[in-house]
Amino acid sequence: MQQQAQLATNVAYGQIRANLEPQAVPLRYCLYARKSTEEDERQALSIDSQINEMIQLSQRDNLTIIDIKKESHSAKSSGGRPVFNELLTDIKLGKFNAILTWAPDRVSRNAGDLGTVVDLMDQGLLKEIRTNGQVFKNSPNEKFILMILCSQAKLENDNKGINVKRGLRAKCDLGIRPGHCPLGYLNEKLAVRGKSRVLLDPERAPIIKQVFERVGNDAISGREVYRWLRDDIKFTTRTGKRLTLSGLYRLLGMTFYYGEFEFPTGSGNWYKGSHEPLIDKELFEKARTNLLSAPKEKYGLKEFQFTKLIKCGNCGGGITAEEKIKRLSDGSLKKYVYYRCTRHINTDCREPFIREEELINQIVAMADKLEFKDKVIQDKINEEIKRFSMMASAISGGDINIKSKIKEKDADIKAYIRYVLEHGKIGEKREILGNLKSDLSLRDRKIYLTNT
């Protein structure tokens, strides 16, 4: 009887203890794979390889993977990984309570993210972090080891940054500018690492030198040099792309071309390059001075007299205009306006440029052949004569003889048109040519009339 009573007591105690002890929570894993895009992590397993390895591990250990998250971001800075931040949010919401990843440094290589992960473990929201060779649970010793491993990854990362900077300074001391060389030079291939030379590009170096000479010696504007590179010689970069206008201005500001360079940019640390200078410092300074003193062109905002009124006779596209400023031998500046095809319809259209003065002379010479909507022109002439008569009368004090000398019926439409084209304002010229019964076409620097 005493043994039966003791057994009953033990059974009851066991049931009470089972009810009081917390039940084991099933682990719901999120497989997290990360690959940094930076140079120092190129030897790490690729994302696909990490996923394959960890899936095999989960099958071996019978782990439940709820989701797979992957991203290509560096873990050097905290909060900079959107997918990892999403993972932390899901853990806080209870979607996952364990992380499966290749190595501890895949989770964190900075103190900020590491602190967040450990804090989630302290709160009981993150039960476990399992890697290829280790398991970290919510225990003081295992969290301590996790922090040591992630801190070691951060230490290695910081040391690599210091070593890289030291190596770059050593390279600069040898006269070698880190990174890709500027346009007009080539990095030597198949050389010993860290000792590659910078060589002149036989194809582009002479053209770059001409660019500096045109701006420095001939005082040609940057836009004009840009158009010369684009239209006349079809200049391209090493990758086969056209040089942009902003790229041209950056090129004209690179001291590398006369043999010196600053690294890093804005640091004030200057070095003498071991490469062959393309120009001398005097030419560089002249080019910079001329660029700063050249009149600024308001690109795309300038109004020209005959744009939108003439079509290209070769491809049917519109006609645009460009203003070019040249410095004369006496130091003064003179402006020239040239018209050409926009090449919007046919990029290969080769309609040549024509000077604005020549264009006006041709239109004036064919004034007698132009057919206008006469009533519109006649009304305009009557309005101008009336305005001039009132002015003449006011100047003469009401002299009727002066006023009577101007007769509307004596007005010559063709003479008025010729006067406006030669001496009128832009708006007046456009109004006149806008009332033509025929279109004006430019072909081989000649103006032709075409039926509308």
pLDDT tens track, the chain, 452 positions: 555 555 455 544 445 444 444 556 789 999 998 887 644 444 456 888 888 988 998 999 899 899 998 888 777 777 778 888 998 999 999 999 999 998 888 888 888 888 888 999 999 899 999 998 889 998 888 888 888 888 887 787 777 778 878 888 888 888 888 888 899 999 887 656 656 788 899 999 999 999 999 998 888 888 889 889 988 888 999 888 989 988 999 999 999 999 999 988 888 899 999 999 999 999 999 999 888 776 555 544 466 777 777 888 888 888 888 888 777 777 777 788 888 888 878 878 888 888 888 888 888 788 777 777 766 766 777 777 677 667 666 665 555 454 444 444 444 666 777 777 777 777 777 777 777 777 888 888 888 887 65
Distance from C-alpha of 208 to C-alpha of 248, rounded to nearest angstrom: 10
Name the token pair of 316: 């049917």
- pLDDT for res 30: 92
354-355 and 333-341 strand pairing? antiparallel
The first and second tokens of residue 352, run together, are 């040549």
What pLDDT score does 41 carry?
45
> Which long-range contacts does 150-159 make (Cβ < 8 Å, 24+ apart)?
150/104, 150/105, 150/107, 150/108, 150/109, 150/114, 151/111, 151/114, 153/104, 153/105, 153/108, 153/109, 154/109, 154/110, 154/111, 154/114, 157/40, 157/76, 157/109
Give the number of C-alpha atoms closer than 13 A to the C-alpha of residue 444, restricted to the C-beta side: 0
- pLDDT at residue 302 in the model: 61
Token pair for 70: 């992957």
223: which 2 tokens? 């836009």
| Per-residue model confidence (pLDDT) at position 190 | 65
**What local confidence, expressed as pLDDT, does residue 2 receive?**
55
Closest CA to 71 of 38, 33, 115: 33
Burial 177-205 (b: 16+ CB within 10 A, else e): beeebbbbbbeeeeeeeeeeebebbeebb
Predicted local distance difference test score (pLDDT) of residue 43: 46
Residue 291: exposed, middle, or buried by beta-carbon count in 10 A (0-12, 13-18, 19+)?
A: middle
Are 85 and 79 within 8 A, CB to CB?
yes
Two tokens, residue 186 = 């080539």
Query: Residues with Cβ < 8 Å from 211, sequence gap 6 or more?
Result: 225, 229, 248, 251, 252
For residue 126, is it left (φ>0), alpha (ψ between -120 and 50) or beta?
beta
Q: What's residue 39's pLDDT?
A: 43
Handedness of CA 233, 238, 244, 249 (dihedral sign): negative
Determine the number of helices (DSSP H) and then strands (DSSP E) in the chain. Answer: 15, 15
Cβ partners under 8 Å of residue 302, min gap 6:
323
